[in-house]
Structure formats: structure tokens, C-alpha cells
Amino acid sequence: MKLAYWMYAGPAHIGTLRIASSFKNVHAIMHAPIGDDYFNVMRSMLERERNFTPVTTSSVDRTVLARGSQEKVVDNITRKDAEVSPDLTVLTPTCTSSILQEDLENFVERAQLTARCDVMLADVNHYRVNELQAADRTLNQIVEFYIDKARKGGTLPTGKTERPSVNIIGITSLGFHNQHDCTELKRLMADLGIEVNQVIPEKASVHHLKDLPRAWFNLVPYREVGLMTARYLEAEFGMPFVDVTPMGVVETARCIRAIQQVLNASGAAVDYEDYIDNQTRYVSQAAWFSRSIDCQNLTGKKAVVFGDNTHAIAMTKILAREMGIRVAIAGTYCKYDADWFRTQVGEFCDEVLISDDNGAVADAIARAEPAAIFGTQMERHIGKRLNIPCGVIAAPIHVQNFPIGYKPFVGYEGTNQISDLVYNSFTLGMEDHLLEIFGGHDTKEVIHKSISADSDLNWTKDALAELNKVPGFVRGKVKRNTEKFARERQLSSITIELMYAAKEAVGA
Amino acid sequence: MTATQPNTTALSFECETGNYHTFCPISCVAWLYQKIEDSFFLVIGTKTCGYFLQNAMGVMIFAEPRYAMAELEEGDISAQLNDYEELKRLCLQVKRDRNPSVIVFIGTCTTEIIKMDLEGLAPRLEAELGIPIVVARANGLDYAFTQGEDTVLAAMANRCPSEAPAVKETTSEPGQGNAISRLLNFGRKQEEIVADESQYADHPPLVLFGSLPDPVVTQLTLELKKQGIKVSGWLPEKRFTELPVIEPGYYVSGVHPFLSRTATAMMRRRKCKLIGSPFPIGPDGTRAWIEKLCSVFNIEPKGLAEREAEIWASVEDYVKLVRGKSVFFMGDNLLEISLARFLARCGMTVLEIGIPYMDKRYQGAELALLEQTCHEKGTPLPKIVEKPDNHNQLQRILELEPDLVITGMAHANPLEARGIDTKWSVEFTFAQIQGFTNTRDLLELVTRPLRRNTHLKELGWDKLVKSEDAKRVTV
């Protein structure tokens, strides 16, 4: 047992559901108790999804506990098949079902006999993998399933597309700024004259997965999701892949050069050097920002970076290499992939922190006393407590991290966004600091004015205590309304009864 | 088609498949740890439970909540680790860091399946650590959302002292004992006694049960005081150490519709008399609740009719917005019957009341009031659907096109995108909606989508899904 207050990566089934619900017309059926379908709420809230999340529960209740699911799971699969005719149904085990040890594979086989859709069991172990690993695995499993199916059916296409083309692998639902990143990557590919063969899993159709091998290469923008699929396609079809995350000016250039190398090895003759040069100097503002006086003022300032592998690595490199900021601590919660993290950030930071314990992260930040933090929502709140500004760079994230405006983190527009994020975080802290030095905002006094001060009315002790229970941001209003109510009735003493009579009367 | 239309003569009850969205009952820790200030809630479960709580509690999670997960690992599941030793280790850590007056173990689906004997372990741990340990099995196998509170309060009912401590003797003495007891109580008990005793009618002790924010507790207590009814205690109180005395023969009344088990525990284990009444939600419900308590204690209610009428008059601007409109409850928090009854009184037509679990005995008076209200208002009686099936419900919603759907967050945005006004049901659980005083707040919630969408309607973009997607009702 482990005492845990917070977790950075979710349970395995969340990863599977993120993949399943990213595809078009794929339905997931969770073998889980009532209440485990919280994924639907998150997707509907965070992504402001207009459509119903294609996830249903085949509920595990007392009856299931007593005699097993029996027909229930199979019935639920065939029922969903009839109701919404998905292309694929993914039966998703949860922590509960994995200890029940029911033969879910058998349910899948039986359901496959009656259902028109394909049915598969997500192959993830709840107690061994987390959300990210499960997502990586499930994506690979679905791709493999449809490649095999096409091969058996003899429909697997041969040969490559005429012009250089790419599959972008790993764009998912509930991924940090994934939608914007996807648009930016497509734009980058268009600039480079590369056709996008497929983007998976986001909005992809499983029927087209058999065409994946037609691309010249695969691009895997994120370390966490897609690498397994890329490696499978490499082993199976000799498809090369590029796994350099194009985040930051230097890494974007490195990614483009890797693409150039891959394409030239496949017989294209491309040279992207001019493109990189032009973008870096004149299109992206980030390189210029690094030279500007603004950025000069950040030189040597201390930062702490914490997040998933992809974003924490990229941010560390950007801060240290492109902006001259000192990264005191770079950390990740992807413990299962810690070695990769170390090799990537080793030379760009003073200290590496591998942990999924938010308490340890908070302690490390307090110790380092950075001028700014770049982390998850948890680090943002640690920053609030310590009065240090924080830029959010990775999941876990809140609804404000699903912006409506265009905010990619990858590619050349991404470098602009990141420059703003970094600069704003540091200046915010500096502004606060300066305000404090010069005595603060002159409105500060008013905002914090105490409740009981100079009023001609007499608040009883109880009423005052009751007033203190009112949330701070409306307390002033409640006080004013109550006193107005009392004055109108020429009462000089305010009791609890009077307070609530006033509330009823003014309708506040 | 006839099956989907509201019944006209009597309430009808149906039971569907139970494929519906709701919160896991462990969510009760979110409001209970805030209510019971000296408690610590330890949820013994997996990452799935933790992930749910972390996301459902929103920003509260950053406020160093007095709750934590005892996250079960593979070794715990396969019994390679000793449950007792593991729990002891964690409890010691909690005791050291937070020093709570009670630790509440929340049993989950996993502890049920691996049959971890929490009820058996707790007394041993309690003796060894010197902290009371209360066990509540608030799991998703058996319960939905607010029923979590029911399991916790039912367990706490057993911890209420069975006779008043000998406080009276010491308070009458001016000696040292008195000074200490006053110090411990911050003088509170004594003040109360001096100030109040004379204003109450002579009635047997009454204990109310159900967790409410402190301001609402004050409001309802004062409301009863006006009638001369004294509230001897409240389960739960602000602190575990202040749990009310419950002696056999005491009267008890529930303030929430989801407290069946607590009511049963009060009656069977503590030998109390349960006053069955509608719940104090809306001015009609509040009045009916007070009147019932009065009638049990042979008190003639004073000024209630006027008070109710006043409240209705003060919220007429809001009631006007909902009058004549229709409402559909998908069902997820068991407040549905009371809310439907209130909205029927406001003049709404209730098309369907989905509800996770329907205790017809505990909610008997509320059901009767609902039926009576519909008859009085001349609106058709709704169909009550226990363990609803969300897919079927969505088909009915698209067919009936209700003016308002009260539903969970999983369906709210997709329905709005299809031009159907929704209100997120969970807000009713967290907002202050009980008593006369909060009527406006309650209507504020109900009318919010209507007020917002009236503004937007003229703009002409009420349906925002492509037509091929609109038909896809996938849940």
C-alpha cells in the first residue's frame, strides 16, 4: 500500500479509452463498476466535446461478483453493435475486472460471432502499466489488428505513395495541446512538400489503417504515445521513423533534418536547409527573442521544469540552450522511461528529479527557490503556495489548458507560443516582486479591509461568526446587503436571524 | 410511444438496465472531510479511485485535503503483503502528519472483491493506535454517488454516544472541573443553555441527520427554533468529537433523500423514532418538513403558510421563467424526487424522473407530496425510472424535446450541442439548496441555462453538430 494524495499519470484504462475514443466510430466497453466511467465526464468537460463520448460500461455489480458476468458483457457488446454500428468495439478491462479474472478474451470471441463490428480486448495490465504506457500499447494493438486483418484478407496495399508522405502517430484525445500540435505539424509537412498519409489515432478510421505502410516514413512527435506502433511498422515493413519532438527552434530544425535524411535515403532529393534558415531567422520570433534585451534580462535566472518526458525534456533544452536560463531541476514523472529522460536533459540542468510523488516535487522546488516553474497543474499550485509563477507545460491539466485559440507547442508557431509562456511567467514574477518593493498596489488596502471595521451597526458575535463563513469573495456584498436591510428597518443590532431575513429579502 | 409519455393518474415506477453515468460514492469524502473538521478520510482502493477523486474534486485537491488514497499495489491484491501491517503503517503516518480525531476507512470495489476485512481490522487498529476508525463501504458495486454519505453516516450513527456525559454536574459547580470543561468547550455549551432553554416547547429530543454546510445548518436550526423545536444534535456535527448523544426513543429526521441506510441504522440499532417527511428542499418541502415535525411533537405551526407565500412571492421573477416548461431528470444523485416535486410546484411538467435507487419507504412522504403537487397543479404525473439506461433515456429526450434536462456532465455538452438546454445535476449536491432561505439559489441553478439560452436563441445557432453526428447517440 502507498499513501497517495495525487497522481501524475492516470490508471491504464484511461490510456486505452483515450486511444479508442480518438478514432472515429470506435466504441469502448468498460468492464467496470458504476462510477468508473468518469472518462466521459473529463472528455466532455475538458475537450468541450459536442458528441457523446463513445464509452459505455458493462457494469460490474453484486450479481456479477456472485456468478460472473456470464452473458452480460457479450450482450452489451452486441447491443452497442446494433445501436451505434461501430467499426470496432474495444473491451476495456479496469482494475476491478483484472482482479475478477474473468475470461474476457472468451467474451470477445463469443461477441465476435454475432456482432458485425470487430471486437477486441485491450491488452493492458492495470497493476503494471499506467495511462501513457497503456495508450501506447493499445494504439499498437489496434494497428496490428487491422494490418493482420488486411494481410489475411489479401487487401494489404503494396508500394509507397508517389510523392514523399508521412504518418503522424500519437495525436490523441485529452492530450496536452494535441489538436493544435496536429494542425501545426500538418502545416509543417505541407511546407516541406510532404503529403500526410494518415494521422492516427485522432479522427482516423480503422478501415484506413491498412494503408499506413504506403507512407514513406512515420513521425512520432511525442515520446509517450506512438513509439510502439512506429517500431512495429519498422519491424514489419521496414518503415523508418523520426522520433525527434519538433519543440523549440533547435529541436524543430533537428527534426526536419532527420526527415530530410530519411527521405533522401528513400530516394527523394530534398534539401530543407534554406527553409530552416528562413523560418528560424524571419518567421519564428523565438530566435530573435533569444537575442532581444527582454530575453537578456532572463539570463541566469533559475527555473524548475517538471512534466512528462516529451514536454519536460523540450522545455529544459529550450530554457537552457535557447534562452540562457539556468534550469536548477529538470524532472519527470515517467519513471518507467527515466533513463531516456536522463540522457536527454543531463547536460542542460543542475539536477535530475525522477518522481511521481508531488510532495517530493514540492520540496525540491521549495529548496531550489526558482524564479519560475514550468510544470503541470500540480506545480502551478505549488507555485501559488510558494508565490512563484508557473507556466503549465504538461498533463495533468485543467480545462484552461484546452484553449480555444490556436496554441501549438510544436513547430515554428509553437516556438512563438513557448517564448510567450516563458517570458510571461518570468515577468509576472518580476512585476509582483517590484510591486512589493514599491509598496504594492494602492487598491490592496481596500481589498483586504477587515470585515468588522467601522460600521454604525452592531453585529452580534454569532452573526459575525456566520458572516465569516461566507466565502471571501462575496462576504463584502453580503455584509453591505445585510446592513442596508437593517438600516431600512432601523435596526441597530444584526443577528443571524436578521442576516438570513436580509438574504431572503434581497434575493442574493 | 405511450410508454414515453408521462402518466396522468398515478406515479408509475419502472426499472431499466442500470447503464447510467453517475459519480462513484467515494466522492462523498470531498464534502464530508470539509464538514467534519477533525476527520481524515482514507480511501482504500486503486489508481482508478484516486484518479476519479483527483479530477472530480477539482481545485479542492490542491488545498491539502484531509483525505488520501491507500493505493493498493500488486502485492496487496495477491496477499503477499499483510493488510493489517500495511494499514497500520499508513495510519501511523496519517496520525503523525495530521493528528485527526477519527480516521474513516472508505472501502472500495477492490477491497470488496479481495474481501479485505476492514470491519474486522478497524477495531484492532483502533485499539493499537488510539484513534477511532470508522469503516464505510462506499463502493461502486453497490452504491451511487450521494449514497456514499449514507454509508459513512450509517457507520457514524454507531459512534454517537449513547448517553449524555455528566456535563451538567460540572457546569453547576464553580470549581476547577468547570473551568477545564469550559476551556475545552470554549464556553459554548453553557452559553447555549443559558440563552435558549425557555424558548422551546417541551418535546422529546430531536436529532437531525445529513451533512449540510454550516450556514444551512444554522438556517434550518433557526427555522425550527421559531416553532419552538429544539435540535439536540446533528449527525454529522462539525467535529467527530461532538457527535450527538442518541438515546433509545429519541426522534430523528433526515434532511437528505439519500439517507436510507442511516435512517435504518437510527431505527434498528439506536432504537430511534424516524419522522418520515418530505425533505426541506424548496419552500413547499421545507414547510411540509417543519409541519411534519410539529405534528409529531403536537406543536401548532406558526406563520408557516405566510412564510412560504412570502418566499414564493420573492422568487416570482425566477418561477415565471420555468412555469409551463418541461423537465427531464436523467438521474444520478437521488435528489431527483424532491427536486421534481419542487419544480412541479413551480408549474413545470416533469416528464421523467430517473433515479439510481428508490427507497419507497424512506421517501414515502416525498413521493406522496409529489403526487399531490402534480394533482394540484393539474400536470401529468411523471414516470419514475430506477436504475435508468442512459441510451434509452437519450432516445426519449430526443423524442420528447424537454425544455430542460437535468443530467451529469457526460451528457450536458453533447445535449447542448443538439439544442437541448441542460443543467448539470452535480451542482445540486454541492450548492446550498435547503430551507426557505436558499430557494432563490436553487432557482438560480435551475433557471441559469434558460436565462442564458434566451439571450442566445435570437442568434440562430442553437444546433451545433453536423446532421450525421446529431443522430449518433452513443453512450
> Tell me: the pLDDT tens digits for A254-309?
999 999 999 999 999 999 999 999 999 988 899 998 888 878 888 889 999 999 99
| CATH code for the structural domain at A165-274 | 3.40.50.1980
pLDDT at B58: 74
B311, B283 Cβ separation under 8 angstroms:
yes
* Residue of chain B whose Cα is closest to the Cα of A398: B58
Of residues A54, A61, A384, nearest to B141 (C-beta): A61
B20: left (phi over 0), alpha (psi -120 to 50) or beta: beta
Give the sheet arrangement for strand A372-375, strand by strand.
A349-354, A326-332, A302-307, A372-375, A390-392
pLDDT tens-digit readout, A161-204? 999 999 999 999 999 999 999 999 999 999 999 999 999 999 99
pLDDT tens-digit readout, B429-459? 989 999 999 999 999 999 999 998 887 878 8
Q: How much of chain A, in percent, has pLDDT values that exceed 70? A: 96
Please indicate whether, in this complex, the C-beta atoms of A41 and B410 are within 8 angstroms of each other: yes
Please indicate whether, in this complex, the C-beta atoms of A1 and B48 are within 8 angstroms of each other: no
Of residues A10, A33, A128, nearest to B109 (C-beta): A33
Categorize the per-residue pLDDT at B7 as very low, low, confident or very high, splitting at 50, 70 and 90: low
Please indicate whether, in this complex, the C-beta atoms of B141 and A60 are within 8 angstroms of each other: yes
Residue A300 C-alpha, separation from nearest chain B C-alpha, in angstroms = 30
pLDDT at B5: 52
* Residue of chain A whose Cα is closest to the Cα of B440: A507
Q: Which residues partner with A120 through β-bridges?
A: A90
The domains found in chain B, sorted by start residue, are: 12-20+314-463 (3.40.50.1980), 25-142 (3.40.50.1980), 178-305 (3.40.50.1980)
Average pLDDT over residues B201-216: 96
- As a whole number of angstroms, the distance between CA B248 and CA B267 comes to 9
Please indicate whether, in this complex, the C-beta atoms of B410 and A60 are within 8 angstroms of each other: no
Backbone angles phi, psi at A92, to 5 degrees: -115, 115
**Residues of B within the annotated binding site for [4Fe-4S] cluster?**
24, 49, 109
In chain A, domain spans = 12-131, 165-274, 287-432, 458-505
CB pairs < 8 Å spanning A and B: 203
Predicted confidence (pLDDT) at residue B176 exceeds the cutoff of 50: no
Q: How much of chain A, in percent, has pLDDT values that exceed 90? A: 72
Of residues B23, B69, B414, nearest to A4 (C-beta): B69
Residue B402 C-alpha, separation from nearest chain A C-alpha, in angstroms = 18
Average pLDDT over residues B222-236: 96
A287-432 folds as: Rossmann fold (3.40.50)
* ipTM value for the complex: 0.88
How many residues are there in chain B?
475
Average pLDDT over residues A219-238: 98
Average pLDDT over residues B354-382: 96
3-state DSSP call for residue A331?
Answer: strand
Considering only CB atoms, which chain B residues are within 8 Å of A37? 21, 410
* Residue of chain B whose Cα is closest to the Cα of A37: B21
- As a whole number of angstroms, the distance between CA B31 and CA B11 comes to 33
pLDDT at A449: 42
pLDDT at B83: 93
Residue A11 C-alpha, separation from nearest chain B C-alpha, in angstroms = 6
Backbone angles phi, psi at A303, to 5 degrees: -135, 155
Strand pairing of A2-4 and B67-71? antiparallel
Name the DSSP letter for residue B27.
G
Backbone angles phi, psi at B15, to 5 degrees: -135, 125
Please indicate whether, in this complex, the C-beta atoms of B140 and A27 are within 8 angstroms of each other: no
Categorize the per-residue pLDDT at A452 as very low, low, confident or very high, splitting at 50, 70 and 90: very low
B245, B163 Cβ separation under 8 angstroms:
yes
Q: How much of chain B, in percent, has pLDDT values that exceed 90? A: 78
Q: Which of A227, A290, A221 is nearest to A252 (CA)?
A: A221
- As a whole number of angstroms, the distance between CA B422 and CA B452 comes to 11
Residue B327 C-alpha, separation from nearest chain A C-alpha, in angstroms = 21
Residue B213 C-alpha, separation from nearest chain A C-alpha, in angstroms = 10
Please indicate whether, in this complex, the C-beta atoms of A51 and B472 are within 8 angstroms of each other: yes
Considering only CB atoms, which chain B residues are within 8 Å of A49? 413-414
Of residues A1, A14, A53, nearest to B71 (C-beta): A1
**Residues of A within the annotated binding site?**
36, 429-430
Categorize the per-residue pLDDT at B8 as very low, low, confident or very high, splitting at 50, 70 and 90: low
Name the DSSP letter for residue A322.
I
Predicted confidence (pLDDT) at residue A446 exceeds the cutoff of 50: no
Average pLDDT over residues A408-422: 96
pLDDT at A470: 82
pLDDT at B60: 72
B384, B12 Cβ separation under 8 angstroms:
yes
Please indicate whether, in this complex, the C-beta atoms of B73 and A497 are within 8 angstroms of each other: no
More confident of the two residues A185 and A95: A185
Backbone angles phi, psi at A459, to 5 degrees: -90, 130
Of residues A14, A99, A470, nearest to B77 (C-beta): A99
The CB density around residue A475, as the number of other CB atoms within 10 Å, is 14
Average pLDDT over residues B159-173: 66
What are the residues whose beta carbons fall under 8 Å from the beta carbon of B159, sequence distance 6 or more? B102, B132, B134, B240, B243
Please indicate whether, in this complex, the C-beta atoms of A96 and B113 are within 8 angstroms of each other: yes
- As a whole number of angstroms, the distance between CA A426 and CA A247 comes to 20
Predicted confidence (pLDDT) at residue A444 exceeds the cutoff of 50: no
pLDDT at B172: 43
What CATH class does A12-131 carry?
alpha beta
Q: Which of B54, B55, B58 is nearest to B68 (CA)?
A: B54
Q: Which residues partner with A306 through β-bridges?
A: A331
pLDDT tens-digit readout, B399-431? 999 999 999 999 999 999 999 999 999 999 989
pLDDT at A451: 45
Of B3-7, B48-52, B129-133, the range with the lowest mean pLDDT is B3-7
What are the residues whose beta carbons fall under 8 Å from the beta carbon of A271, sequence distance 6 or more? A260
Q: Which residues of A belong to the active site?
A: 294
Predicted confidence (pLDDT) at residue B173 exceeds the cutoff of 80: no
- As a whole number of angstroms, the distance between CA A372 and CA A423 comes to 10
pLDDT at A448: 36
CA distances from B371 to B44, B374, B381 (A): 42, 5, 7
pLDDT tens-digit readout, B239-252? 999 999 999 999 99
Per-residue HEC secondary structure of B318-338 comes to HHHHHCCCEEEECCCCCCHHH
Categorize the per-residue pLDDT at B170 as very low, low, confident or very high, splitting at 50, 70 and 90: very low
**Residues of A within the annotated binding site for substrate?**
429-430
- As a whole number of angstroms, the distance between CA A21 and CA A142 comes to 12
pLDDT at B57: 79
pLDDT at B2: 40
Name the DSSP letter for residue A276.
H
DSSP B362-408: TTHHHHHHHHHHHHHHTPPBPEEEES--HHHHHHHHHHH--SEEEE-
CATH 1.10.3720.10 fits A458-505, yes or no: no
Predicted confidence (pLDDT) at residue B163 exceeds the cutoff of 60: yes
Please indicate whether, in this complex, the C-beta atoms of B77 and A127 are within 8 angstroms of each other: yes
- As a whole number of angstroms, the distance between CA B419 and CA A382 comes to 40
Q: Where are the alpha helices (DSSP H) in A226-345?
A: 227-237, 249-265, 273-278, 286-291, 293-296, 309-317, 323, 338-345
Considering only CB atoms, which chain B residues are within 8 Å of A503? 437
Categorize the per-residue pLDDT at B474 as very low, low, confident or very high, splitting at 50, 70 and 90: low
DSSP A367-419: HH--SEEEE-HHHHHHHHHHT--EEE-SSS--GGGS-SS---SSHHHHHHHHH
pLDDT at B340: 98
Mean per-residue pLDDT over chain A, rounded: 92
Q: Which of A141, A199, A205 is nearest to A169 (CA)?
A: A199
pLDDT tens-digit readout, B273-287? 999 999 999 999 999
* Residue of chain A whose Cα is closest to the Cα of B44: A1
pLDDT at B195: 52
Q: Which three cell numbers stand for residue B449?
A: 441555462
- As a whole number of angstroms, the distance between CA A214 and CA A158 comes to 7
Of A208-217, A340-349, A486-495, B443-452, the range with the lowest mean pLDDT is A486-495
In this chain, the answer to whether the domains covering A12-131 and A458-505 adopt an identical fold is no
